[in-house]
Structure formats: structure tokens, C-alpha cells
Amino acid sequence: METLAFLLAALAVVLAIPVPKWLHTARFRVRSPWVAMVLWQAIALAGGLAIIGAPIVYGLSPFGNSLPSAFVTLAEAVRYEDYAGLEERDVHPSHIFALCLGALLAAHLLLTLARTFYRVRSARRRHREMVNLLSTPLTDDGTQALPDRLTDTHVIEHEAPLAYCLPGRTNAGALTVLSRGLLDQLSPEELGAVIAHEKTHLRQRHHFLTLAFEAWYRALPWLPTTRYGREAVLELTEMLADDGALGEHSRTDLLRSIATTTPGGEDPEQQLSTGQGGIITGARLQRLIAPPEPLGPVARAAVLGLSAALLAVPTGLLLFS
């Protein structure tokens, strides 16, 4: 049990520090973003499991040889107030401390996850109300050959070229929002590419994939790698959405629409200041300009296998060792 605790602690450290540092700039993410996405999700889950599991396993180690049996023994000792037995079992205050630490960490991570979920949901609800008041549903006025599936696309009256999507509770409740400036500046083909990009975000439910990373970042903001994870996963969702759009639209249309919506061009109004700059779109742009080869089947299988092992090995050790 003690060995297992140290193994889990080592896994937690490795997953918290060197691995995200390497992965957030790893070259292969550009070649096959969905493979990198699977690996990130496995890291988030396995890392959370290891960081909570390590202190709990250590704290339970005097009580039995496997986690379930140790847990039962401890529960019975508490239930029958058999505190004399604790001495025989060689329970040290450090074990009690580790148990408390594990419980606190588990509560902290799970509560932050829940709070993030509800905060994001209510922020979206507020935003959706504003969109409903300020925008009009996009209808094909016959002048443009717009793509179909327009029922949930709304137009907001502003000259800055903008597009974004707002996930709903179900996919039917989701919205894609375009600005008047975007409609004016893009050709129908380019517009189609933008809409396809946004719909891919919604269809692939990228808002769920980013949730855990948003939560870990809020729970452990002092850990630099939680920020890497959050940014890397956002970047991957953009690449995945681009790939989705390229299924139906040409690379040139997508690139042109990016060029138009990029600040620094003829920005009609400086009323809207742009958010954080940085790495997020650089790699995304590069891979659109010069498309890299996707990962070969062997490399792909290796990364996916690693992801599965990350989840299966700690879980298996915890339950069956």
C-alpha cells in the first residue's frame, strides 16, 4: 500500500509538471489534434485521481493490504470506537494527516468542478438572453447563397467582423452568433466556412472538453501547468473546428475568413478591444497555411494506448492491488 501511495504521488507530480509542459507545444498535436485531445483528457482525469489517491492510500496503508479492505477496517474502527486498535496497527499522526489532506483535496477539486459548471452555465444563460434581445435570426434573403441549417444562427448589429457560438443545454438550444460586419465583409463561401467552424464546436461539444481544464485552472491557479492545459485544450478545439469546417469548405475560404476577422486589418472601430494575445492562434494558422501530415497509425495507436493506460493503471492499482 505504501509503495502504491508513492507510485501515485510520483504519477501526480509527473502529470502535473513535465508532461503538460511538453504536451502543450508537442509537434504531434498540430498533426492530429484529436489524438492530443484524448491524451489531455486522460491526463486531467488520471492526474486528478493520482493527486487525490496518493494521500488517501498512504493514510489507509496501516489498515489493510488493499484500498477497499483498508477502508472497511477503518470504517469499522471508527464505528465501534475501537481506538485502542489504532495503536496496534501502528497508525502514526502522519497517516491521519494524509487522510485529511486527501479528503480536502478531493472536496476542493470536485467542488471547484461543480462550481465552474454552474457559473459557466449561468453566464451562458445571461448571455443568451442578451443575444435574444439584441440579435435577429439570420434568414436567407435571397441575395446570398447561404448554407442551410440557419435556424439557430443569429445576427448582431455591429460593424466589427465577429463570429462565435454559444452552447446550449442540448444541441438544439445552441446558438451561432454572427455580426453584421462579418456578413458584409465575407463572401457566401467564406461565411459558410465560418459557420461550419462554429457548428463543429457545437456538434463535437467542445465546451465539455474544456470544462475540466477550466476547473483545474481555477482550483490550482498557482500550478503553472493548469494554465498550459487550459490554453492547449482551447487551441486544440480551434484546430478540430477548423478540420470540421474543411470537411465541407475549401482551405482558401477558411483562410480568407480568418484574414478578414483578424484585428489589424481595416478595423472599423476600436470600440471593441481585443482580448489576450498569444500562442493560441499561431499554430492553428500555421497548420492551415501549410497542412502537416496526420500522425501515422502506429504513432496514433501509441498515444491512444498511453491515454488508456493512464486511466486504467491507477484505477486498477487502487481497486485490485
Cβ-Cβ contacts under 8 Å for 120 (sequence gap 6 or more) = 207, 211, 214
Dist. CA 83–CA 7, nearest whole Å: 29
Residue 131 within binding range of other proteins, rule CB under 8 A: yes
DSSP letters along 281-311, please? HHHHHHHHHSPPPPPPHHHHHHHHHHHHHHH
Rg (CA), the chain: 25
DSSP 273: P
What are the beta bridge partners of residue 137? Answer: 154
Instruction: Tell me the window of 54-62, 95-103, 153-161, 298-306 that interacts with other proteins (CB under 8 A).
Output: 153-161
DSSP state of 172: G
Q: How far apart are CA 261 and CA 313, in angstroms?
A: 45
Q: Going by DSSP bridges, is the β-strand pair 135-137/153-156 parallel, antiparallel, or unpaired?
A: antiparallel
Closer by beta carbon to other proteins, 77 or else 255: 255
User: Shortest approach of other proteins to residue 197 CB, angstroms?
Assistant: 6
150 binds other proteins (CB under 8 A): no
Shortest approach of other proteins to residue 233 CB, angstroms? 11
Using the rule CB under 8 A, give the single segment among 13-21, 70-78, 103-111, 132-140 that binds other proteins: 132-140
Is there binding between residue 301 and other proteins (CB under 8 A)? Answer: no
| Smallest distance, other proteins to C-beta of residue 158, A | 5
**DSSP tag of 137:** E
The residue (of 37 and 156) whose beta carbon lies closer to other proteins is: 156
Helices (H), 204-296: 206-219, 224-246, 251-261, 280-289
Work out how close the CB of 218 gets to other proteins at its nearest, in angstroms, rounded to a whole number.
10
Chain positions 16 to 75 lying near other proteins, rule: CB under 8 A, are: none
Q: Which is nearer to other proteins, 31 or 199 (CB)?
A: 199
The nearest distance, CB 230 to other proteins, in angstroms, is 9
Pair 199, 174: CB distance under 8 Å? no
Closest CA to 301 of 16, 18, 28, 21: 28
- Which three three-digit cell numbers place residue 55? 494521500
Rule CB under 8 A: say whether 206 interacts with other proteins: yes
Pick from 10, 107, 130, 319 the residue near other proteins by CB under 8 A.
Answer: 130
Alpha carbon distance 26, 260 (integer Å):
29
Which residues 227-286 are close enough to bind other proteins by CB under 8 A? 234, 237-238, 252, 255-259, 261-265, 271-278, 280-282, 285
Q: Is 103 in the site for other proteins (CB under 8 A)?
A: no
Q: Least distance to other proteins from the beta carbon of 147, Å?
A: 15
Minimum distance from CB of 284 to other proteins (Å)? 9
User: What is the Cα–Cα distance from 274 to 81, expressed in whole angstroms?
Assistant: 61
Instruction: In angstroms, give the least distance from the CB of 221 to other proteins.
Output: 14
Number of residues that bind other proteins (CB under 8 A): 62
CB of 104 to other proteins, least distance (A): 25
For other proteins, the closer of residues 61 and 261 by Cβ is: 261
CB atoms under 10 Å from CB of 78, counted, come to: 11
- Residue 48 phi, psi (nearest 5): -60, -45
Positions touching other proteins (CB under 8 A) are 116, 119-120, 123-124, 126-127, 129-134, 136, 156-158, 160, 162-167, 177, 179, 194, 197-198, 201-202, 206-207, 210, 214, 234, 237-238, 252, 255-259, 261-265, 271-278, 280-282, 285, 289
